[in-house]
Structure 1
Amino acid sequence: MIIVIGYGTFGRKVVNNTKAIDKISVIDSNAVVFESVEEAEFNFIVGDATDETILNKAGIKDADTVIVLTNERETNKKIAKLVSKLNPKAYLIVRNIVQYPDLYSGIEVHKIIYPVDCAAHEILLEIEKSKLRRKLIDLEEIVKDIKKRYNSKTSNIVPSKSKGEKYSTGSKDNNVINGIDASKSDDNKLAPCLIIMHNNPDPDSIASAMALKTIMMKWGVSSDIAYGGKIGFDENKAMVNLLGVKLTPIDNIDISNYEGVAVVDTSSSKIIPIDTTYKIDILLDHHNNGDLTANYMDIRPDIGATATILTEYLSHLNIVPKQKLATALYYAICTDTNYFKRKTSKKDFDAAGYLQDLMDPKTLDLIENPDMDTESMEALARAITNRNIIKNNIALSYVGHIKNRDALPKAADFLLKMEGITTTYVFGISENKIHISARTKDLRIDIGEIMRTAFGGGGHQSSAATSIDLGIFESVSDKKSLKNLVEEAIKTRILEAMGIDETDSTKKYEE
């Protein structure tokens, strides 16, 4: 049971928001405040709560929560003291003002609230809502402008197709690429807008593109989703296939056929599969290292995942994501924040909490735990065998030539589980490039910064990756000589970036 003492403006609001939780008794010395209250709403007592008789009448000994909200601070103090005496098990919430921080000194209260601060916080939340509302108004205008431009161009076009034949799409092919269904928009007709993800898209870019497509459909605009590179990692392939995400390789698309272009989860021209001559209408990202601009931009580096921004959009627009979209967004937030162990904002937690009740945990488990292919297992075995231990806690390992470079981060993650190892670097050769994946659980190390310093790559504090040209080593045909040259070059750069003397290394292995 809950007892609320003080039924003024603030107390009334508390009661209205609390009465659905549990049985409530309300005490106030002014009978007038209860004139409009129906008997059935809650139990109310007119009287002075500093009187033990009144508190007993309200059922003080049965209350698990007591909230003291009168406008008189000394009265609140007396009530709090009496409540502590009559029911020391009750959770006691009391009202105060900042000018009297020691008012309840010596009294066991559990929470002191400041109505002015509460009001200020509520206003802050409303300001955030107002800014989000304005962003979405602007976004809607951009989307509807794309629709208007598209309609104006297509309204005068007379189709030359025979009856029953579908219009052509902006795609040149409809093949399955990299094991991914590369079909286009649902009606197989050219969509007005193309949503572009960064090269080799990750779960955050895929889920964000799915969410933006859903939002644009609310405003009557269909869209296709395109990507450059390939869908890497078994988890990403499982995500796309299990959730039925329709993606199109950028090489199969004529971008000029689309009226609008949106880019998600990157603001850098270096990692999108189009050149900067294309005008971008919409740009959504949580990285702050880009050079792209657009008519509509929402870039928030304080957020852990672009999927969080899109989830906020969906919620504000009263679009409840379907189970597959909710699963994609939830997984995206988890992976981009390293399951909330990397830099994470309150908005990321809130978004994940909202999506948790909507997503499918069984599908999520299948995405997170796909079968490991043979090459990944072989690369993992070579990573273990070829490991080079530096200063007893850093593992470097060369895995040779690989077809699937996605095996590297798996190997880097696995080596990090070895006893005493806190940082790992796994590298191999594919397509005339040396690919490097790094991991650390040492909070004193920023692995992303090390990769930037050593190779111009990048990433997060705990995980990073990069690719560099094989260069002059490309002419070396002897595998053992190539291995020694690549190993030495990579190790030297890493140790220099980490500030470690090469003589501290401990050689480990025979290949």
Structure 2
Amino acid sequence: MILIIGYGSFGRKVVNYAKTMDKVVVIDKNASVFDSLEKVDFTYVIGDASEKETLERAFIKDADTILVLTNEYEINKKIAELVSELNPKGYLIVRGIVKYPELYSGIKVNKIIYPIECAAKEVIHEIEKSKLRRKLMDLEEVVMNVKIRHHNNISENPKTAENSENGNGDNKVPFLIVMHNNPDPDSIASAMALKRIMEKWGVDSDITYGGKIGFDENKAMINLLGVKLTHIEDINLENYAGIAVVDASSSKVLPIDTNHYKIDIIIDHHDNGDLTANYMDIRPDIGAAATILTEYIIQLNMTPKQDLATALYYAICTDTNYFKRKTSKKDFEAAGYLQDLMDPKTLEMIENPEMDTETMDVLAKAIINRKIIRSSIALSYVGMIKNRDALPKAADFLLKMEGITTTYVFGISENKIHISARTKDLRIDVGDIMKRAFGGGGHQNSAAASIDLGIFESVSDKDSLKKLVEEAIQTKILEAMGIEESSGGEKPKAEQ
């Protein structure tokens, strides 16, 4: 909650900005200042803010940010003294008077501002800093409580330390940082950053994942940056007192049973979550979880080492598709901060790894087997595959064909049909198409889905299986796109 004291011309400007960020409560002793408002979309209290009763009516103890903006400097001083007493944890911003530089001497004031025309925006920046500061205070509190819980558990059960199965004989690892299945650069970098932050607070942690590390770029990132990860199958969850989840807030994508294991921390930028935790920072307006962790690092005055800076920078770039996908101002700011700290040579090696033989084979099959619908949509079945991460590369590759604006590449692996979609047509949302057609999902310009092979599993003839799968997937995709099958398509080049 943001408490603003003083609703004069300057206070109104601040309120107009602040009410888009959080609940706002305004105090002013003059009731008439609110009479001219056509629509009141904030709470206000009429009274003298230099009196304890007025501040309590405005829920002073619930405010994380308090702004004292009246134009009566002696009254402002009294209010600041009282606010410091009633809410010592609040971030206190006060209006200053140039000719009285010592006005707030001896009072715990976080920021003194001077009401020039641009001051309102400066105040908003300070509010954002105060909120981030409070978030990190809450995060540290959760982390330290888990550490205490962990030490108490060892004291009560001394044999626990002796029987540790996670490779740490003294069982000094209170936290497990969990990434989503088949982690991407954003989850890897975010986990690295959270681990470094916990280290700053004197708390050890391990990083785990489910599925596999796919894509040559992801493997290169881990190898070149020396990221230490442990697969969930090699983790004994009972050895950890706390669990943190990064770049995910949905139980469907995690390698742990969230009904059995309590989650303490969630940091994410997706809005499809079903999980709760003691600490949650979920911001769907941000393009990458790595941006949130970079904000944390800056606020904590930590200068990330080159490996972490490179990881975070690459994560922001990939999750925003190099700032071509949904991107916020904070993503640009975070990337700008990291750009001078990361290693360009290592980044280039990560972005351009060697391509394995199977991926090249899948690319070849995608080209040969392509079907063209309405001159701009390419669909291609690549058959049985071992590495499903080759599918998005093939979908990206087909998108480079002249006249092609949307691609769907699909293949079979582990009794499932995997589909990868890409588009550069702003009128098409492949994330929505994958969701409606197969229950998958993704972004407007890139998406994926996996479905059980089902009745097709009993088909042993490869040609028959190919025909059935192609027809079924194509029908579903075109139906979701609102295209009738009769529109036809170009035959694969191999059949012409």
* TM-score, structure 2 normalization: 0.75
Equivalent residue, structure 2, for 1:222: 204
Match of 2:314 in 1: 331
Question: CA–CA distance in 2 between the matches of 1:369 and 1:336?
Answer: 17
The answer to whether the aligner puts 1:299 opposite 2:291 as a matched pair is no
SS of 1:435's equivalent in the other structure is strand
Task: Decide whether the 8 Å contact of 1:195 with 1:261 is kept in 2.
Answer: yes
Distance 1:160 1:447, change over 3 A: closer
SS in 2 for 1:289: coil
Measured in 1, the distance between the counterparts of 2:419 and 2:196 equals 36
The counterpart of 1:487, out of the listed 457, 465, 470, is 470
Aligned residue number for residue 130 of structure 1: 130
Separation in structure 2 between the aligned mates of residue 498 and residue 417 of structure 1, nearest angstrom: 21
In structure 1, C-alpha distance between the alignment counterparts of 2:335 and 2:171, rounded to whole Å:
34
Deviations 1:188-218, CA, capped at 9 Å, x for gaps: 8541000000000000000000000000111
Deviation at 1:154, TM superposition (A): 1.9
> CA 1:127/1:400 → structure 2, altered by over 3 Å: closer, same or farther?
same
Q: How does 1:97-246 map to 2 (within 5 A)?
A: 116-155=116-155, 158=158, 169-171=164-166, 189-246=171-228
In the alignment, what sits opposite 2:254?
A: 272
Aligned sequence identity (%): 75
Q: Aligned partners of 2:464, 2:372: CA distance in 1, in Å?
A: 21
* Cα shift at 1:285: 0.2
Q: Aligned partners of 1:478 and 1:299: how far apart in 2?
A: 48
1:282 aligns with 2:262: no
Q: Residues of 2 paired with 1:189 and 1:345: CA distance?
A: 41
CA separation of 1:147 and 1:419: change in aligned 2, threshold 3 A = same
Query: Helix, strand or coil: the match of 2:152?
Result: helix
SS at match of 1:155: helix
8 A contact 1:190–1:258 mirrored in 2: no
Provide the residue aligned with 1:384 in structure 2: 367
Hey, what does 2:406 align to over in structure 1?
Answer: 423
Aligned to 1:463: 446
Counterpart amino acid of residue 333 in structure 1: I
Amino acid at match of 2:392: P
For each residue in 1:230-276, what CA deviation from the matched residue of structure 2 results, as whole angstroms up to 9, or x when unmatched?
Answer: 00100000001110000000011111110000000000000001112
Supply the distance in 2 between the matched residues of 1:260 and 1:335 (Cα, whole angstroms).
29
* Partner residue, 1:316: 299
Q: Is the 8 A contact 2:171 2:239 kept in 1?
A: no
Q: What is the one-letter code of the residue matched to 2:179?
A: M
Quote the offset at 1:153 in angstroms.
1.8
> Are the aligned partners of 2:154 and 2:160 in contact in 1 as well (CA < 8 Å)?
no
- 1:155 shift after superposition: 3.4
| Counterpart-to-counterpart distance in 2, 1:489 and 1:117 | 62
Q: Which runs of 5+ in 1 are unaligned?
A: 1-113, 162-166, 172-183
CA distance in 2, matches of 1:191, 1:337: 33
Conservation of the 8 A alpha-carbon contact between 2:433 and 2:480? yes
Q: Contact 1:170 / 1:255 at 8 angstroms: preserved in 2?
A: no
Distance 1:264 1:243 in 2: 19
**Runs of 4+ displaced beyond 6 Å:** none
Displacement, 1:505?
2.3
2:303 aligns to what SS in structure 1?
coil
Secondary structure of the structure 2 residue equivalent to 1:135: helix
1:379-434 deviation per Cα after TM superposition (whole angstroms, max 9, x unaligned) = 10000000000000000000000000011000000000000000000000000000
The secondary structure found in structure 2 opposite 1:137 is helix
Distance (Å, rounded) in 1 between the aligned partners of 2:453 and 2:165 = 36
Question: Could you tell me how far 1:117 is from its partner in structure 2?
Answer: 4.0
Secondary structure of 1:343's match? coil
Counterpart-to-counterpart distance in 1, 2:117 and 2:433: 43
1:412 pairs with 2:395: yes
Question: Are residue 448 (structure 1) and residue 431 (structure 2) matched?
Answer: yes
For the pair shown, which has the larger CA radius of gyration, 1 or 2? 1
| Residue 503 (structure 1) aligned with residue 486 (structure 2) | yes
Alpha-carbon contact 2:190-2:247 (below 8 Å) kept: yes
Q: For the residues of structure 2 that align with 1:263 and 1:317, how far apart are their CA atoms?
A: 20
Whole-Å Cα distance in 2 between the matches of residues 490 and 307 of structure 1?
A: 35
2:118 is paired with a residue whose SS is helix
Verify the 8 A CA contact 1:170 1:190 in the aligned structure 2: no
Partner amino acid, structure 2, of 1:213: K
Deviation, structure 1 residue 116: 4.2
Give the aligned partner of residue 56 of structure 1: none
Q: Tell me the amino acid that sits aligned with residue 469 of structure 2.
A: V
The 1-side partners of 2:212 and 2:219 are apart by 10
Q: Partner of 1:341 in structure 2?
A: 324
- Partner Cα separation in structure 2 for residue 507 and residue 343 of structure 1: 33
Evaluate the alpha carbon distance shift between residue 495 and residue 117 of structure 1 in structure 2; reply closer, same or farther with a 3 A threshold.
farther
Q: Structure 1 residues 115 and 230, CA, compared in 2 at 3 Å: closer, same or farther? A: same
Indicate if the aligned counterparts of 1:263 and 1:282 stay in contact, CA closer than 8 A: yes
Q: Deviations over 1:53-101 (max 9, x none)?
A: xxxxxxxxxxxxxxxxxxxxxxxxxxxxxxxxxxxxxxxxxxxxxxxxx
Following the alignment from structure 1 to structure 2, what is the Cα–Cα distance between the partners of residues 355 and 457?
Answer: 33
Conserved 8 A contact 2:313-2:335: yes
Are the structure 2 counterparts of residues 307 and 188 from structure 1 closer, same or farther at C-alpha, using a change threshold of 3 Å?
farther
Q: Please give the secondary structure, in 2, of the residue aligned with 1:418.
A: coil
Tell me, in whole angstroms, the C-alpha distance in 2 between the residues paired with 1:143 and 1:257.
Answer: 16
Q: Distance in 2 between matches of 1:303 and 1:435?
A: 28
1:146-193, Cα deviation, whole Å (9 max, x unpaired):
1111111223555799xxxxx66543xxxxxxxxxxxx78x9854100
2:310–2:341: 8 Å Cα contact kept in structure 1?
yes
CA distance in structure 2 between the partners assigned to 1:505 and 1:328 by the alignment: 45
Give the residue type in structure 2 aligned to 1:490.
I
8 Å Cα contact 2:269-2:288 kept in structure 1? yes
1:41: which partner in 2?
A: none
Structure 2 CA distance for partners of 1:367 and 1:188, relative to 1, 3 Å: farther
Question: Quick one: distance in 2 between partners of 1:363 and 1:464?
Answer: 28
Deviation track 1:471-511 (CA, whole Å, cap 9, x = no partner) reads: 00000000000000000000000000000111112232246
3-state DSSP class of the match of 1:352? helix
CA distance in 2, matches of 1:188, 1:377: 47
1:43 counterpart residue number: none
Q: In 1, are the aligned partners of 2:405 and 2:424 still within 8 Å (CA)?
A: yes
* Counterpart Cα distance in 1 of 2:263 and 2:158: 28
* Letter matched to residue 405 of structure 1: R
Write the letter of the residue equivalent to 1:151: H
| Residues 158/266 of structure 1: CA separation in 2 closer, same or farther (3 Å cut) | closer
TM-score norm. by structure 1 comes to 0.72
